[in-house]
Chains A and B, each alone.
Chain A
């Protein structure tokens, strides 16, 4: 029977990136995806006629341009378009906008506080400095600090040099930054509630932490280190929704001779004598492969797809304890017309950007309190946008797709599973919040897709619905991601690799885990990697 050179479990964007690079290196690669479509958390689906949703992820910045280039994604239809800065609505009928123009940005902040308006330069300098430190680490395998192999020593040295390039003070600042809370970090620059809330949102998105929890400053960085065509920190829409990313990847993969099987759920990995030999599908079909690479998160991979007895004790324990707590949901809405926000002038660029209603850190933290208590937030934090104001491909003219990312939503309600009634209650908390700022909003709704962690886990396979395949806290980053000793995409089982967001450098539609894993696999096979661009310079 045929044995593939490599079988990739999961057609999420990282699985596809990985598969593309391996196929282009001359391997015969099969991707098996449980859903009838590819994309994982980067997918666009038409659930009601004429409307395309970005069902999970909805904005693009982290996806590495080196990968787009190597895999010729523009040729396969990928286009990422920048959008304007967004706004936070305030409860007194005003809003705070973020304009792209530096001086308009300052004048906008000055409406609330002249002092804070002038604090922005220093803030942005300091965040940029941190970004420049982390960026070069994204497209490299994290070193194994316990290994004395020359390459690991080299990488450690590289990391050390990056550190040594910093002054003693900067070094201290970096360590502090990686472990402090976004709220404390912002307090060093700003005084105004709404201005702090405006920046804090990047520190909590996707994480089961509140703005006052240590570690959230790093999460902010994770959302700043991307770019749109060299404009660092900028975010854009993928034309056609985030599914356009994986559609292009799938097309690139097929064009280079790769094979994708959808509707093919892996039940478990075939392991013989400590080596992966292939996969067994849910229906019992066995597929053989010389290598198996899992795009699923580390918990799903090692607690569901591999038998316990194949794994070392300490590894298993760490995988079990890996923090992968769900914290968010998503409501996708088809609208028959553009909603109005009386607080916002009709010609405001904010309509084409992200909108939020949480105007203080305090409110964010209260929303998080609900999560801790095992409830969805009564007053949730929304990251809401209407991509169809810039992307004409997602809805008929004059009609709109609205994407609402929602926090907080716990993986379980009061310790039990979500019910349909819970899901409806969750959706209502979202709609009520929007309607409070947009009269007549309910009447515009044509269709709605509501996704709690239950739906996200069931469909995308993200354990607990955690969007990053594991919390982005310092104890789970770099050479500790996903667990110590296994940060280099290999696993305790021979020939079984990991390539999903659970691995370094983590979640988001970035592609770096998939690419870095491919580099490691090709190294093990002693195959050239000349088709992989090195990371762009950070100068």
Chain B
């Protein structure tokens, strides 16, 4: 039978590529992978309450979702973010390239800084949001919920830049909560006190380097740590040991999700549909339609989706708006329909909870303009609360409010407080 003869790679190259492929075959036996931290998380996962985060076995909750939430707000919580998609973007053209594909001005992102950003397709619809870490003048890490390699590679044509997906190679941890700084200091990360919000720095760990940034998804004092996968366990142990006296606890996603909602942060494909996943054309969203208009920098040069976004702005073609809501009462309005004057459907709640920190019933909702934009009065949500096999239908008043729903001074205090 004929052999593949298209281009003739060197025999040894072929062999190693084939060997790597063959070695990876058995993945079908493990439909949910463990992360590099899995041995530790499994040991703490008393509830065995897992979900799939991008194909990884991730905990909804480890022992008690309420108490896990309070660990974030009162002590320090350790949350495994390894399944997050990570791209290493490197080269002399990396800055210009990223400036071209993302919304914010990357030329103003200094080495040693992180910014939250988003990126759009050519029609101005949001592909994803995420964080961009500038590790050096020519080296970046882009973290996101969804995967974008084809788009990133195709956009790189003409730029001196290399792009590599490094999700599996790099393990990540979020350490969030009032005692997080003290724990890092006690763990021996000297100089970590100098990190201001959105700063990052590299520290020695176990013969390798850990990148620590003062970032997070909780609206609290907190840090994120990235480390080569083979140093993951020693990093975990180092933090747990240092944190023992400061109440450190590992947590699952349910607790984190509450904290992020209080912080007013949105989640791709929960609060909006990313454009590569939107099958129905009317689900596509521009940055201004999901509360990310502030990321769009009109001063900077061309970027993906620019023309469409500005055209939509000038021609008033923006059809949706994402808002924070404060809802009367204390029953969470998860996925409730939003009404104008109790009768006209104008939108949907995508996330909702009673906020222990704000002592308010809060929600994030997407509304059809002008509701939520110029018309913000007389909005209502219809809550279907299932109680013992009966829906208690409640029509509750909703008020459009600013996000974040809570603002904690300790998040930004510099130097960070030593609780």
Contact = CB atoms under 8 A, between A and B. Distances in A.
B150 A348 contact: no
A185 interface: no
A517 to B, nearest CB: 31
A167 interface: yes
B3 A345 contact: no
Interface string B16-51: 001011101111110110000000000000000000
What size tier do the contact residues of chain A reach? Answer: 35 or more
Contact of B149 (A91, A118, A170, A193): A118
B149 A115 contact: yes
Interface in B275-299: 276-279, 281
B27 A94 contact: no
Nearest to B23: A111
A293 B234 CA distance: 76
Interface string B90-124: 00000000000000000000000000000000010
A505 B71 CA distance: 60
Given A106-B55, A118-B150, A347-B29, A94 B21 contact: yes
B4 interface: yes
A118 B165 contact: yes
B52 interface: yes
B396 interface: no
Interface string A78-118: 00000000000001111001010111101110111011111
Interface residues of B, number: 34
A91 B4 contact: yes
Contacts of A108: 27-28
Given A107-B27, A108-B28, A121-B277, A92 B150 contact: no
Contact of B1 (A91, A99, A116): A91
Interface in B235-279: 276-279
A115 B151 CA distance: 9
Given A92-B18, A345-B26, A436-B1, A114 B165 contact: yes
B21 A121 contact: no
Contacts of A436: 1
B4 A104 contact: no
Tell me the interface secondary structure of chain A in the complex: helix
B147 interface: yes
Nearest to A360: B4
Contacts of A117: 149
B394 interface: no
Given A99-B28, A125-B278, A129-B279, A111 B21 contact: yes
B204 interface: no
Given A103-B55, A107-B55, A167-B281, A121 B28 contact: no
A103 B1 contact: no
Given A111-B25, A348-B28, A121 B276 contact: yes
A122 B276 contact: yes
Nearest to A110: B24
A349 interface: yes
A379 interface: yes
A103 B51 CA distance: 13
Contacts of B6: 193, 362
Given A103-B54, A111-B24, A118-B150, A166 B1 contact: no
A189 B151 CA distance: 10
B190 interface: no
B148 interface: yes
Interface string B138-175: 00000000111110010000000000010000000000
A220 B214 CA distance: 49
Nearest to B278: A125
A126 B55 CA distance: 23
Contacts of A170: 281
Contacts of A348: 28
A110 B150 CA distance: 12
Nearest to A348: B28
A104 B27 contact: yes
Nearest to B15: A92
B4 A166 contact: no
Interface string B49-92: 00010110000000000000000000000000000000000000
A90 to B, nearest CB: 8
A223 to B, nearest CB: 18
A473 interface: no
A232 to B, nearest CB: 10
28 contacts: A91-B4, A94-B18, A94-B25, A97-B28, A101-B55, A102-B55, A103-B31, A103-B55, A104-B31, A104-B55, A107-B24, A107-B55, A111-B27, A112-B21, A115-B150, A118-B147, A121-B147, A125-B276, A125-B278, A132-B279, A169-B123, A170-B281, A193-B4, A345-B28, A347-B29, A349-B28, A359-B4, A360-B4
Interface of B: 1-4, 6, 14, 18, 20-22, 24-29, 31-32, 52, 54-55, 123, 146-150, 153, 165, 276-279, 281
Interface of A: 91-94, 97, 99, 101-104, 106-108, 110-112, 114-119, 121-122, 125, 128-129, 132, 166-167, 169-170, 189, 193, 345, 347-349, 359-360, 362, 379, 436
Given A106-B147, A115-B149, A129-B281, 5 more contacts: A101-B55, A103-B31, A118-B147, A119-B149, A189-B150
